[in-house]
Structure 1
Amino acid sequence: MQINIVQGHDPDPGPTFANVVIDTIRAFTVAHFAFLSGVRSIYLAESVEQALSFRKHHPDCLLAGEIQGLPINGFDLDNSPARIDRTPLNGRRLIQKTTNGVKAALNALNSEYVLVTGLSNARSTANFLKRVLQQHSPQAPVVQLIASHPSGDDDLACAQYIQGILNSSGGPDLEATVRRIRESEAAQKFLDPGRPEFPLEDLTYCTAELNTSFVMRVRHREGLAWIERQPIS
């Protein structure tokens, strides 16, 4: 198995067996807790305009996302995992638009498996992928771990943590990974009491590893891409 780590949301990572797109603070932590709260699926929108247009045709969907970390005017939800966790979502569908994670996922569809995660579902995602590779993989499969923040250490730390699990190399442990995420540039605004728009409790959600029975897999068809739960069997 060849494991590549790439950083940023713009490059097309090319054809691979699996692309794992990581957005720890906060898009795919939000997605994880949305599924835990009962969301059916999450559509990925490239722009605010696309999100609003899709909702116009699917008024049952809720809009969730951010621009530069801040709420989007006209959206139902922002990009806070803590607030998502407190929102009744059972049976609902979301439309998600974010700066890094969603964009990176939409640029990573050229793969048999496209998975998204933050740290909260990182180990479950890595273990699922190991099982898939053992059972179904071609010769010398290529796995890309895409740290969606173009320069931040939070997604890179999570990518290296997943890499260690995949190749059983004894890579960075959970404690070291959490420390790097909390010390990353992206985390600092959540630690600043002068910036209440970035709640500290979000950082707690983004650095808590959970043992869940599903991964988040991206499907796409006819110009639409969405995340759905895939059980870990």
Structure 2
Amino acid sequence: MQISIYQGSGPQAAADAVIVIDVIRAFTVAHYAFLQGAERIYLAQTIEQAFKIKEGNPDYLLAGEVHGEAIEGFDLENSPDQVARAHLYGKSLVQKTTNGVRAALNSLNSKHVFVTGFTNAEMTAKFIRRGMGEGLETIQIIASHPTGDDDLACAEYIRSLIKDDTSITKNQVRERIIRSEAAEKFLADSTIFRPEDITRCLKELDTDFVMKINQSGKIPMIERVHL
């Protein structure tokens, strides 16, 4: 089994499986959304596409950011803390973000595409190693932020778990996340970013599902796949 790590949201060569990581914050948001009862999360290439999807489906909720900041007219910010407090049972979300969503959409040439933050990293690695490992020859792990050590640390952690080694611990990953450039603006005195989001991003949650992209429809969407 060949496991490669890449940074950035640009297209990569096709693989048997891709794991796209966005710790701060897109796929941490997605994880909390499912925990709050969301049914599915559609992935939009652009803000305009997100609004068009909602125009045809008024009950859908728009969630995301552009360059880290909230999008005017969206229902939810790209905030794990906000989403963790929302009532989303039975809801469908439409997500648009700068790095994570873009990287996921650029990975659809691969057979299986999973998304995660740190919160569901261990469960995702276990699913790949135990449930699918024998049928996978090539695995790509995409740290979607082009320079962020938070995503890279999580990618190295997932690789170590799939390989069943101890080259990096979860505490080392947490330390790198909290010290990353992406986390700094949340921990500074800011009226835009919430420090509670980083607290949510640092938690490893015990859940019984992974997040996988369903490519069968016109619009790709993240769904829960139970172990």
- Give me the TM-score of the superposition, normalised by structure 2: 0.98
Q: How many angstroms does 1:71 deviate by?
A: 0.6
Match of 1:58?
57
Match of 2:118?
119
Mapped contact 1:152–1:186 kept (Cα < 8 A): yes
Match of 2:17?
18
Q: How many angstroms does 1:196 deviate by?
A: 2.6
Mapped contact 1:43–1:224 kept (Cα < 8 A): yes
Mapped pair 1:173 → 2:173? no
Number of aligned positions between the proteins: 227
| Gaps in structure 2 of 5+ consecutive residues | none
The aligned runs of 1:106-185 (5 Å cut-off) are 106-134=105-133, 136-138=134-136, 141-185=137-181
Match of 1:5?
5
Query: Per the alignment, in what secondary structure is the counterpart of residue 215 of structure 1?
Result: strand
Match of 2:209?
214
**Distance (whole Å) between structure 1 residues aligned to residue 167 and residue 85 of structure 2:** 34
Match of 1:196?
191
Q: How many angstroms does 1:93 deviate by?
A: 0.4
Q: How many angstroms does 1:133 deviate by?
A: 2.9
Query: Per the alignment, in what secondary structure is the counterpart of residue 63 of structure 1?
Result: strand
Q: How many angstroms does 1:223 deviate by?
A: 3.6
1:53-106 CA-partner distances (Å, limit 9, x unpaired): 111111110000001111101100000000001111000000000000000000
**Distance (whole Å) between structure 2 residues aligned to residue 109 and residue 205 of structure 1:** 28
| Gaps in structure 1 of 5+ consecutive residues | none
Query: Per the alignment, in what secondary structure is the counterpart of residue 119 of structure 1?
Result: coil
User: Which amino acid in 2 is paired with 1:147?
Assistant: A
Match of 2:69?
70
**Distance (whole Å) between structure 2 residues aligned to residue 85 and residue 170 of structure 1:** 31
**Distance (whole Å) between structure 2 residues aligned to residue 28 and residue 115 of structure 1:** 10
Provide the aligned C-alpha RMSD in A: 1.0
The alignment-based identity, stated in percent, is: 49
Query: Per the alignment, in what secondary structure is the counterpart of residue 16 of structure 2?
Result: strand
Match of 1:83?
82
- Give me the TM-score of the superposition, normalised by structure 1: 0.95
User: Which amino acid in 2 is paired with 1:155?
Assistant: D
Match of 2:103?
104
Q: How many angstroms does 1:224 deviate by?
A: 1.1
Match of 2:222?
227
1:109-137 CA-partner distances (Å, limit 9, x unpaired): 11221000000000000000112334x50
**Distance (whole Å) between structure 2 residues aligned to residue 36 and residue 222 of structure 1:** 23
Q: How many angstroms does 1:222 deviate by?
A: 4.8
